[in-house]
Amino acid sequence: MAYVPPHKRHFKDADRPTPVPDSLVPQFRKNVNLRSPSTFQRGKDRSSFQGPKIVYASSCISRWWPVGSTDNDPIPESFHLECIPCEPVERERGEKPLVLVDRKLPTEANKVMESSESSPWLFIAEKVQPDLLATLQNVKIELESQGEEFKPSFVARFGKIFFHGGSSMSLDIIRNAAIAEANSRNKLNKSFYTHVPSVYLEEIEDLIVPRIGFDFNSEKEQYHVKIFDKSQPDVTISCKCTITEDHGKLEMYKAELNQVRHLVEDISCLYKDLDLRLMLWNKRILMDLDDAEKVAIGKLIEAAVVAPDAKGGLRWPLGKESAGDRFSVIGVWHTKYRAFKNPSMKLKLRHADRFDFRSSKGEVSNEATLKMTTISRWLRDGVVDTGRVIKMFQEAVKLIWDNFLDCNHKLA
């Protein structure tokens, strides 16, 4: 009988999980300690897709808070938690996610926002600024001491903040999280859902991009092959690849380690359709692979077969998903994006098809990300002028608030 890859097998019961190949089981059921001197592994944002390990710097600043209250109570009595339908989340967790909403009618909410002493976007910028400046300084010191090639990125993502836990999730828990110290490691059971409707991306490209003066930058189709290195269980190697035009084979052009998060600000925007995540991360570009490592990783890339009908767009022949006893393919992403930019920012509108070999789960999503390229470049070059950073950051937040958080379409 011909071999059928795990992610292409079909069962009568659609909810039955696809078994992980026996060759992969031993590597991913080990109870390993993922701590390292400079980073630690925290409980990841759960979704229907397991994804790569999420690694946080030991000095990471992470917090959640809402924008919408006009008094000293960040969670006034008019706020409440409401269940909303989201099929991918319900399938994974067995329950509907919760979102924070205001009982006030839209007209009342608008009056509240208009009566605020400062604009919502300015409130966001001023609240984030101390965390951002502290993080920039921490990352700058780290980059100066490492002596390796790093790629810092400061980005904004648009989606929805979901709270989980059903009846066990209460406003008191939400309130405590909103007023907690940034580094309190508050165990708020939440996730940031980045999948947005395709029509929303079309509206951004057709209406918003011309309005804000962004120009077309590039269009690219990529495959990201996620590789587990047994000698470094706390990292994931991400090989960015394209398809060669002459032979239709996979070709790697860059290898990076998984991102290390230094700043995560999740902001529930109650009077907008979408919420906001501001995040600063760092990636190390692999430049020092020895010959044996290059050969082993190269074999994994060469063995990949382009399969448009497979989840993630790639498959591997039996036994070819690992190289020796050190490297193994644990996931694949197939992405297509269009990018637009102005002198200080770059907007990516991306369609992603992801598959995780460890959990045998995948996801297809549409995502919008705004990268603050100038601030990221200043950080990479070690030139961080506080005044210029604050001014540019405020301009970016205003742009986001005015243009990217309105979406009159169902998310799921």
d(CA 388, CA 61): 22
Domain-located, residue 15? yes
The residues, any chain, with a CB within 8 Å of residue 39's CB and separated by 6 or more, are 55, 56, 57, 58, 234, 260
Position 44 in a domain: yes
285: which DSSP letter? Answer: B
The pLDDT confidence band at residue 3, using thresholds 50, 70 and 90, is very low
pLDDT category at 24 given cuts 50, 70, 90 is very low
Mean pLDDT of 10-24: 40
Read off the tokens for 94: 């067995």
Domain count for the chain: 1
Residue 1 forms part of a structural domain: no
State the average pLDDT over residues 14-28. Answer: 39
Predicted confidence at residue 91, as pLDDT, reads: 87
d(CA 77, CA 75): 7
Q: CA angle, corner 185, sides to 362 and 47, nearest 5?
A: 10
pLDDT at 287: 83
pLDDT digits (tens, 9 = 90+) for 346-360: 999 999 999 999 989
What tokens appear for 319 in the block? Answer: 């036994």
Question: Is residue 412 in a domain?
Answer: no
**Beta carbons of 229 and 256 less than 8 angstroms apart:** no
In this predicted structure, what is the pLDDT of residue 36?
37
- pLDDT for 146-181, tens place per residue? 766 889 999 999 999 999 988 888 888 998 888 887
- pLDDT value at position 76? 85
Tell me the CA distances in angstroms from 69 to 63, 83, 113, 158, one per residue in order: 17, 21, 8, 21
User: What is the average pLDDT across 305-309?
Assistant: 94
| Position 335 pLDDT exceeds 80 | yes
Higher pLDDT residue, 109 or 382? 382
Separation of alpha carbons 152 and 281, rounded Å = 6
pLDDT for 99 equals: 95
Q: Which residue has the tokens 């090989």?
A: 239
113 pLDDT band, cuts 50/70/90, is low
pLDDT above 70 (res 123): yes
pLDDT at 115: 53
Q: How far is CA 79 from CA 85, 104, 110, 366, in A?
A: 19, 8, 15, 29
pLDDT, average across residues 43-49? 40
Q: Region 63-73: what's the mean pLDDT? A: 79
pLDDT at 35 over 80: no
Tokens 């600043």 correspond to: 61
pLDDT, tens digit, for every residue of 219-277?
A: 999 999 999 999 988 889 999 999 998 878 999 999 999 899 999 999 999 989 999 99
- pLDDT-derived band of residue 26, with 50, 70 and 90 as boundaries? very low
The structure's pTM equals 0.84
Q: Smallest Cα–Cα separation from 132: which of 394, 406, 404, 411?
A: 394
The full length of the chain comes to 412
Query: Does the residue 410 lie in any domain?
Result: no
State yes or no: pLDDT of 103 exceeds 60: yes
Assess if residue 190 is contained within a domain.
yes
User: What pLDDT is stored for residue 230 in this prediction?
Assistant: 93
Q: Which two structure tokens, joined as six digits, stand for 76?
A: 């006034």
Q: Which of 142-156, 181-195, 291-305 has the lowest mean pLDDT?
A: 181-195
Tell me the residue ranges of DSSP E strands in 103-233: 150-163, 190-193, 215-229
Report which of residues 92 and 370 the model is more confident about.
370
When mean pLDDT is compared across 64-78, 247-261, 366-380, the lowest value belongs to 64-78
Mean pLDDT, the chain, whole residue set: 84
Residue 273 in domain: yes
User: How much is the pLDDT for 168?
Assistant: 86
| Domain of residue 364, residue span | 6-403
Residue 51 confidence (pLDDT) = 52
The radius of gyration of the chain's CA atoms, rounded to the nearest angstrom, is 22
CA 115 from chain centre, in angstroms, equals 34
Q: Is residue 411 part of a domain?
A: no
pLDDT exceeds 60 at position 23: no
pLDDT of residue 16: 39
For residues 388 and 390, give the distance between their C-alpha atoms in angstroms, rounded to a whole number: 6
Say which amino acid occupies 25. V
